[in-house]
Chains A and B, each alone.
Chain A
Amino acid sequence: MSPGATALSIIFAIVVIGSFTGFLAARHRTSSLEEWAVAGRGLGLALVWILMAGETFTTFSVLGVSGWIYSKGGPTLYVLAYLTLGQTFIFFFGPAIWEHGRRLGLQTVGDFFAVRYRSSLLGAVVALAGAVFLVVYLQLQITGLGIIVEVASFEQIGRAPAMLAATAVVASFVMASGVRGVAWVSFLKDFLMVAVAVFVGFGLPWAHFGGIGAMFDAVIRAKPGHLVMPGGTQNLTHSWFITTVLVNSLMFAWPHFFGGIFTAKSADTVRKNAIIMPFYLLPLGLIIIAGCAAILIAPGISNGDLALLTAIRRTFGPGMLGVIGGAGALTAMVPAAIHILTASTLIAKNVYRPLFAPAMSDDATARVARLTVVAVTAVALALALNSSATLVGLLIMAYSGVAQFAPGIILGILSRRVSSPAVLAGLIGGLAVAGGLSFTGRDPFLGLNAGFIGLIVNVALVAGVGRLTPARPSGFE
């Protein structure tokens, strides 16, 4: 067997085992929207932890983060900071979100806005914007899958057909199994991923330099300044770091994290999960170390996202490349499945139903959501096939957008006086500013993250419009 075929067969075997785990876990469960989208609100601490961690530890974390430390250096540390700090928001607001969710039957972030502000328009706007950001995130996972197959096959299989095949597998997996199946596959995926992180984090530096310390000696000598900010960039400075970490730490506003809160069986589970989540980032530290090793093992790669896998391929045999590629493939599939599932539920329940079929039952909505899976996946695949941006660049843009949901969520919980026109104005203003700056290549702007500037505009509009419009009674009362 050629090295490419060996690696690919191992990847294929791991993906098949993973998919079957998902199908089996979801068997004998009802096909209601409540089960499909939030697992009947019945997941204990272990499954919620693994589900939320699975959503955090994505192909972006593995290929994107190692790619960033490879090409951009020091600024990459923002990932470790925001993923830790983001949990403190879930610690404080997660239990309240969960309580309102159980009491009022909320399943999505769109439900939260529609019910709290008694405005299905606001719910639909949030749901539509949320679905768009999820499609961007999904696009990253599909691109990651394509990269894995491309490198593992020694460029025998092109990225486009690889993405096509992988996407078909993920979409059918989601339709059949729902969020509970995804949580179970996460077990397998995370076990493999942690093993891989330990293996490459210690193995790559050891094989080429004799140890982590010696590896860093060599990198610092070859590229002084690369491992501090702004590293290999011009504009990713300390002010960029601070504002980006603050914006990204509002990650609970991501529709799939928000939905993840509802899958927990109690508010206490949500809070305990927020406490222990950061431990999950320690393997990510090892991935960063492996990315540093790749700087000298595989120099001169223009797309950093390929660096880690190329370094692995140069160091270990095709068998090991297959195991790592398989773990990486599951690492893309699990979050991709959650993104597809969440985006489809948002569109079916918060956009399609209020606009076109107000009388539709939850069961019928679940069927529409399953059909929406195909559309959502197709859009993300088309984007992935046509995009040239790096994984991290795209994700920073999406986080800037998602953060604009946060004022409406936090004020919705804490304040009685905030009005729905004020939240809508803030949301649209914030999205326009953050999106406008990002799309015109002005992120960072004056050294500040575009989403941060969007948030300032957002909060100012909420306060300003809030003075002019009276608040109606909260839908939570």
Chain B
Amino acid sequence: MKRPSAASILLAAVPFVGMCLSVDLWDRVEPRVLGVPFNMAWMLAWIALSPALMGIAYWIEKRR
């Protein structure tokens, strides 16, 4: 198997920081986003953002 590039591993690490390790920073109710508590809105935003990052990683892997 071809080892993945450092760039795509780095891209994959970003959601781990955003959704998991940084929980102290975003686990609060205010400010609300369209009425939804901040922590919930934050999670939902990352659900949409992660595929975008992994899509870039896919493109990087494909080009190598």
Binding site for B on A (CB under 8 A): 74, 77, 80-81, 84-85, 87-88, 91-92, 95-96, 99, 211-217, 220, 227-229, 238, 241-242, 245-246, 249, 271-272, 274-279, 281-282, 285, 288-289, 413
Contacts and interface: CB of A to CB of B under 8 A. Distances in A.
A451 B51 CA distance: 27
Interface residue tally on B, bucketed by range: 20 to 34
B31 to A, nearest CB: 12
Given A279-B48, A285-B40, 20 more contacts: A77-B40, A81-B20, A81-B46, A85-B20, A91-B54, A99-B1, A213-B34, A216-B35, A220-B37, A227-B39, A228-B37, A238-B23, A245-B20, A275-B55, A275-B58, A276-B51, A279-B47, A285-B44, A289-B36, A413-B1
Kindly name the residue among A84, A227, A228, A281 whose own CB sees the greatest number of chain B CB atoms within 10 A.
A84
Given A216-B35, A285-B40, A81 B19 contact: yes
Contacts of A276: 51
Contacts of B54: 87-88, 91, 274-275
Nearest to B44: A285
A34 B43 CA distance: 39
A96 B50 contact: no
24 contacts: A74-B27, A74-B39, A85-B50, A88-B54, A95-B1, A99-B1, A211-B35, A212-B35, A213-B32, A213-B36, A214-B35, A215-B35, A216-B32, A216-B35, A228-B27, A229-B23, A245-B19, A249-B20, A275-B51, A275-B58, A279-B47, A285-B43, A288-B40, A289-B40
A99 B2 CA distance: 12
A228 B30 CA distance: 10
Contacts of A215: 35
List the 4 closest A-B pairs by CB distance, nearest first.
A213-B35, A96-B1, A81-B19, A88-B12
Nearest to A97: B1
Contacts of B37: 216, 220, 227-228
Nearest to A229: B27
A227 B29 contact: yes
A160 to B, nearest CB: 36
A91 B12 contact: yes
A56 to B, nearest CB: 13
Residue of B9, B35, B46, B58 with most chain A CB atoms under a 10 A cut-off:
B35
A328 to B, nearest CB: 22
A316 to B, nearest CB: 22
B19 A227 contact: no
Interface class of chain A by DSSP? helix
Interface centre among B15, B34, B40 (most CB of A within 10 A): B40
A63 to B, nearest CB: 19
A468 to B, nearest CB: 28
A87 B31 CA distance: 29
Nearest to A476: B1
Contacts of A92: 4, 9, 12
B42 to A, nearest CB: 9
Interface string B45-64: 01110110011011001000
B39 to A, nearest CB: 6
B27 to A, nearest CB: 5
A276 B55 CA distance: 9
B15 A88 contact: yes
Contact of B47 (A227, A245, A278): A278
A450 B48 CA distance: 30
A274 B4 CA distance: 15
Contact of B36 (A95, A212, A282): A212
A213 B40 CA distance: 13
Contacts of A91: 12, 54, 57-58
A405 B4 CA distance: 22
Contacts of B34: 212-213
Contacts of A85: 15-16, 19-20, 50
Nearest to B28: A228
Contacts of B55: 275
A215 B34 CA distance: 12
Given A84-B15, A99-B1, A220-B29, A278 B51 contact: yes
B21 interface: yes
Contacts of A282: 44, 47-48
A77 B20 contact: no
Nearest to A226: B29
A250 B33 CA distance: 31
A106 to B, nearest CB: 15
Contacts of B32: 213, 216
A278 B20 contact: no
